[in-house]
Structure 1
Amino acid sequence: MIAQMLFKNKEKSTYKADSSGEKPIRSVAKALSWRVVGTLDTLAVSFVLAKDIKIAASIASIDFITKLILYFFHERVWNAIKWGK
């Protein structure tokens, strides 16, 4: 689903903006940018604790993928909530 949104042609997109005017692709872009920041942090902390760049990179890679997916769905749920808008 996420990959489809990334590669779908903008004109042919079947995804509509939600009530706040935000399209799912914006949530994907936000999730990616935040995960880059978060993964760099995880890499640094893992390296300090493990003292091994291979272990730190493995931890950071798994962290990047799982939290990217979690953040996307978290963002979409919050976009559906009317509270505070």
Structure 2
Amino acid sequence: MIEKYQFQRMVSVLCEAAGVSRSGYYRYWSHSAIHRRMQKEQRDEEISLHVRRAFQLKKRNKGARSIKMTLEGQYQIVWNLKRIPTDK
């Protein structure tokens, strides 16, 4: 909203309305935070690609345990079961 409607002096008011501290707002838009979020999105995309590939192997549906075993056996990727997303 601040960028879209040019509210330069409204940061305090909008942060208070949203329940966010001003320092938290500026930290969220800092260069390092943006860079960290982009890296996390790229890692998540890679994980999703591996999981989809393991899920579609042999054209059968698999649960998280089967996907974990497929990743370990076929692709030599060792992940914790909690890291494998359950939604496909």
> Which TM-score bucket, shorter chain as reference?
0.3 to 0.5
Normalized against structure 2, the TM-score is what? 0.33
Normalized against structure 1, the TM-score is what? 0.34
Larger radius of gyration: 2
